[in-house]
Amino acid sequence: MSTNIDRYNRKISYLRVSITDRCNLRCIYCTPSETFKLLRQFDILSYEEVIRVIEAAVTFGIKKIRLTGGEPLVRRNVIHLIRAISQRSGVEDFSITTNGVFLKPLAQAIFKAGVRRINVSLDTLNPLKYVKITRRNCFRKVWEGISLAERIGFRPIRLNVVVMRGLNDDEILQFADLSIRKPYQIRFIEYMPLGVDNNWTPQKYVSSDEIKSRLESMAPLYPVTPEKNDGPALRYRFASAKGEIGLIRPLSHHFCATCNRLRLTAEGKLRPCLFSDKEVDLKTPLRRGCSQQDLIDLFRKAIGLKPKKYDLKRFQVQESQLIMRRIGG
């Protein structure tokens, strides 16, 4: 049996790598307030350590890597790391998730470093509402960054939209229209009860079924045939659209049976499931001089901890301190 297959017969081939808990936005569903505790620089894995982990991951069987955060593009010399990962043989699919604030100055260098796939979190197309959601006035920068990424040739460009009733659900059709005019995959994500004081209430949650029926009120949606590295999004398209729609349904239809991912937190812990508090520490062994084989064994240990499926109720009680910034959204 291959070493990257877990006890529920899931092949674990995807690693999300958070390289910082810092972020230049303060989104209301992710960050509690202006003042919160950040990791000390020393506690965050260095680029050399991240690369060692990625090398072990690839030997273990990881083929897809996504850089995330916090906001990955705020970390100093991030292009150096992007280039190093991009050049690593065995990484078949490498992408970045960003809030887009630094996309304009960095897009060209990211593309040159070999990255073609990019996800940008953008919950509104309204600059004033953007300030309300992110507590920062950066809509224009983000929009210009996305437009530049499109001109440079990034494909696919995915825009991730967390849908919150009463806040941005009135923009579902505007985003849908964007998917017709632009070659973007608009991915509607169900709002999850994650984080400290993240304002989640059942009333603000909009299910993907509701999102889909609202989209269908505009025009018929046609399913798009899934591809190998798609992940959990269900893909659709409007007739003659340049782009697509994606629906990500972590609450209404959990995708545990096909979950192929592990997360590496900024402080060097492997997290087998977003909704479980179990983690495997890689930083301490790394700093004590462990071998690559030791790291591979720790990957094996981590997939041994992957639950069959998550129990959100139990999780909420146990881990009210979970923060996406640290774990990586």
What's at 71, amino acid-wise? E
Of 49-57, 66-74, 151-159, 303-311, which segment contacts ligand SAM by CB under 6 A? 66-74
- Helix segments in the chain, DSSP class H: 47-60, 78-87, 103-112, 127-134, 139-152, 172-181, 208-216, 283-287, 292-304, 312-318, 324-327
160 binds ligand SAM (CB under 6 A): yes
- Residue 224's Cα: distance from chain center in Å? 21
Please identify which residue in 113, 192, 270, 296 interacts with ligand SAM, judged by CB under 6 A.
192
CA dist list (Å): 168 to 100, 248, 300 = 19, 16, 41
Residue 17 binds ligand SAM (CB under 6 A) = no
Q: Is residue 267 involved in binding ligand SAM (CB under 6 A)?
A: no
Residue closest to 268 by CA, chosen among 257, 259, 279, 281 = 281
Question: Is 98 an interacting residue with respect to ligand SAM (CB under 6 A)?
Answer: yes
Cβ-based nearer residue to ligand SAM, 160 or 179: 160
Long-range contacts formed by 34-41: CB under 8 A, 24+ apart: 36/196, 39/266, 39/267, 39/326
Return the residue of 28, 54, 56, 194 that touches ligand SAM, per CB under 6 A: 194
Whether the ω angle into residue 156 lies within 30 degrees of 0, i.e. cis, is yes
Angle at 58 between CA 233 and CA 155, to 5 degrees: 40
Minimum distance of ligand SAM from residue 4's CB (angstroms): 25
Q: Give the one residue of 4, 20, 95, 121 binding ligand SAM; rule: CB under 6 A.
A: 121
Backbone angles phi, psi at 92, to 5 degrees: -85, -25
Between residues 7 and 76, which has the closer beta carbon with respect to ligand SAM? 76
Question: Which residue among 58, 142, 189, 296 contacts ligand SAM (CB under 6 A)?
Answer: 189
Out of 4, 13, 20, 68, the residue judged to bind ligand SAM by CB under 6 A: 68
What's the token pair of residue 270?
């492997």
Does the protein bind ligand SAM through residue 4 (CB under 6 A)?
A: no
69 near ligand SAM, judged by CB under 6 A: yes
Stretch that binds ligand SAM, among 187-195, 226-234, 262-270, 288-296 (CB under 6 A): 187-195
71 near ligand SAM, rule: CB under 6 A: yes
Partnered with residue 185 across adjacent β-strands are 158, 244
Q: At what angle do helices 208-216 and 172-181 cross, to 10 degrees?
A: 60
Contact between 329 and ligand SAM (CB under 6 A)?
Answer: yes
Position 154 contacts ligand SAM (CB under 6 A): no
For ligand SAM, the closer of residues 123 and 244 by Cβ is: 123
Interface with ligand SAM includes 324 (CB under 6 A)?
Answer: yes
Q: Residue type for 3, please? A: T
Applying CB under 6 A, which part among 7-15, 87-95, 193-201, 222-230 lies near ligand SAM? 193-201
> Residue 219, SS3?
coil
Residues contributing to the site for ligand SAM (CB under 6 A)? 23, 29-30, 68-69, 71, 97-99, 121, 160, 162, 189, 191-192, 194-195, 198, 324-325, 329
